[in-house]
Amino acid sequence: MDRIKILISGIPGKVGVNLAGHFLADGRFTLLPVALTGPGVPEEPVSVSGASIAIVGPERHREALSRLKGQEGGFIVIDYSHPSAVNANAALYCGLGINFVMGTTGGDRAELSRTVEKSASCAVIAPNMAKPIVGFTAMMEYMAENFPGIFSGWDLSIKESHQAGKADTSGTAKAMVGFFNKMGLDFSADRIFSERDLERQRRDWGIPEEHLTGHGWHTYDLTSPDKTVKLSFTHNISGRDVYYPGTADAAIFLSRRVAEGNRGKVYSMLDVLRQA
């Protein structure tokens, strides 16, 4: 298999830098020495595992992508940028016919899918790229589809904790709300409790010190109407390495679908896992 060319949107963000190091070490990929960044970030080269990566600000995104497409041919953008940039970034990629993996949460997700479907681009879009969590949400989706109303009348609480720099509520938690609604629970995403305070994360949640700046902890508590039955589901991610295998699989999957001639298609991480 020819190496898949990768460009990251979201450096010098911590997830973007982490993924860049993994892509550089993975013989299946070639990481292009250019990355996109957001407003207000200095356009100074970033060193990752000894490689220098040029940083391109928003006003030069279109120019840089157009030039690289002419120079490199096909490549895949891996987007771990910012929720406020999701829809604009997708519109840019699709306008240039560039395929992408959207690991960034937030934005208007319905509009995001419509943007891809109206274009010649293909994309993998998911609220979580970590394969163990994708598997867990798939189990919950199965319950929702096959046992609708099973928890009618029950109470639900959802709490999630992420590093202080995460700007939006957990995309995984939001996706879970939809599944629980189908199971009969009356709950809306604006009732999710989101923790971003370092001291409370340390004291109340017990999150290890070394992972306070990079984690994703979630707990879903369900209680029966008479309070005699309680179910709890917890998934905790500490660190960022877990996102690489899923992101890499998504890039390979997307490359294969494009090579088959697909255009204007939106894929999920479940599609990726089924083909892995």
Shared domain for 247 and 120, answered yes or no, is yes
Catalytic residues: 162, 166
Whether residues 72 and 185 fall in one domain:
no
Contacts of 160 (CB under 8 A, 6+ apart): 169, 170, 172, 173, 192, 193, 194, 195, 216, 217, 218, 219
Count of domains forming the chain: 2
Separation CA 268–CA 214 (nearest Å): 24
Shared domain check, 256 and 125: yes
**Residue-range definition of the domain harbouring residue 140:** 131-238
Answer yes or no: do 200 and 154 share one domain.
Answer: yes
Question: What single-letter amino acid sits at 184?
Answer: G
**Structure-token pair, residue 6:** 């990768």
Reported as a single tens digit per residue, the pLDDT across 4-43 is 999 999 999 999 999 999 999 999 999 999 999 999 999 9
Q: Are residues 228 and 257 in the same domain?
A: no
CATH number, domain of 175, equals: 3.30.360.10
Gap between the Cα atoms of 74 and 122, Å rounded: 12
Give the CB-side neighbour count of residue 220, counting CA atoms within 13 A: 19
Q: Do residues 158 and 120 share a domain?
A: no
Buried b (16+ CB within 10 A) or exposed e, 79-99: bbbbeebbbebbebbbebebb
Confidence of residue 127 (pLDDT cuts 50, 70, 90): confident
Query: Are 56 and 165 in a shared domain?
Result: no
In a shared domain, residues 251 and 147: no
Q: Are residues 122 and 29 in the same domain?
A: yes
pLDDT band per the 50, 70, 90 thresholds, residue 276: low
What CATH number is associated with residue 45?
A: 3.40.50.720
Same structural domain, 121 and 135: no
